[in-house]
Amino acid sequence: MAKKVVKYAVVDAFTDTAFKGNPAVVCWLGDTMKDDKWLQSVATEFNLPMTAYLTPLVDHHSENPRFQIRWFSPVSEFALCGHATLAASHYIFQAGLVKSKTIEFSSLYGILFAKKVSANDGFYIELDFPVVPVLDFNDLDVSAISEILNGATVVDAVKKNAFEDIIVVLGSGEEVADLEPWFDKIKEAPGRAIIITARAPNGSGFDFYSRVFQTR
């Protein structure tokens, strides 16, 4: 039996410059059935932060296109990933796979929406995601987090209780950009990931800087 080709693309999210931003692989499965072991093996082979798999649930040329989306890091499946959803939406719109300006994604975290917004230089994509509750860490050992982050100045820290991500606010955007963490210590940290962020420098053209370090 002839093998079916699986199309894929590498999309750099949050940038308009090649080889910048946050990369994600987008795999178009179509009607090709693949088991979880295959999905994980392919994501491990790509070895990029995230691989998104797309399967149409209805005729994707209909007025209300809906796709199943699943996200795999090189080591495990995730219930939600923002930048890979943005990458998948870009792939769908750019490839002309839908006529509608709105896409629905069925995911482990529920229904997500992406909207194509026309602009003079092409188009933008608006994502509509559910709000993820956070928990304050009043008893969080800030000095331990600072040590994990190689002595970074920790202004605040909270935990996303849905995924146990730790969000750390640093003193400046420059500190976020220049941080060289202890990766071995990050792997020992609890939760799924440590996210560092801070207000972007004046004149940078951005609102904030952010970086993500996966713990598993």
- Going from the first residue of the chain to its last (216 residues), give the mean pLDDT of each consecutive group of 10, the final group possibly shorter: 82 91 95 94 97 94 92 93 96 95 95 95 92 69 84 88 84 95 84 91 93 84
Q: Do 25 and 50 share a domain, yes or no?
A: yes
Q: Do 118 and 138 share a domain, yes or no?
A: no
Domain final position from 97, 128, 159? 128
Q: Do 49 and 141 share a domain, yes or no?
A: no
Cα 88 from Cα 106, distance rounded (Å): 13
Residue whose C-alpha is closest to residue 54's, from 78, 36, 74, 70: 70
Q: What is the CATH number of the domain that holds 149?
A: 3.10.310.10
Q: Do 38 and 143 share a domain, yes or no?
A: no
Q: Do 96 and 158 share a domain, yes or no?
A: no
Cα radius of gyration rounded to whole Å, the chain: 19
For residue 189, tell me if it sits in a domain: yes
The domain of 83 spans: 7-128
For residue 149, tell me if it sits in a domain: yes
For residue 169, tell me if it sits in a domain: yes
Q: Do 101 and 172 share a domain, yes or no?
A: no
Q: Do 24 and 110 share a domain, yes or no?
A: yes
For residue 2, tell me if it sits in a domain: no
For residue 55, tell me if it sits in a domain: yes
pLDDT of residue 162: 67
Q: Do 119 and 148 share a domain, yes or no?
A: no
How many distinct structural domains can be found in the chain? Answer: 2
Q: Do 187 and 121 share a domain, yes or no?
A: no
Q: Do 69 and 154 share a domain, yes or no?
A: no
Is the pTM value of this prediction over 0.95?
no
User: How many Cβ atoms are within 10 Å of 71's Cβ, its own excluded?
Assistant: 26
Contacts 24+ apart (CB under 8 A), 67-73: 67/92, 67/103, 67/104, 67/105, 67/106, 68/105, 68/106, 68/107, 69/105, 69/106, 69/107, 69/112, 70/39, 70/107, 70/108, 71/107, 72/39, 72/40, 72/42, 72/43, 73/43, 73/49, 73/214
How far, CA to CA in Å, does 48 sit from each of 6, 38, 51, 126?
Answer: 18, 16, 7, 23
Domain final position from 81, 110, 128? 128
pLDDT of residue 138: 52
Domain final position from 128, 150, 171? 128
Residue whose C-alpha is closest to residue 104's, from 53, 70, 71, 57: 57
Q: Do 120 and 163 share a domain, yes or no?
A: no
Q: Do 68 and 98 share a domain, yes or no?
A: yes
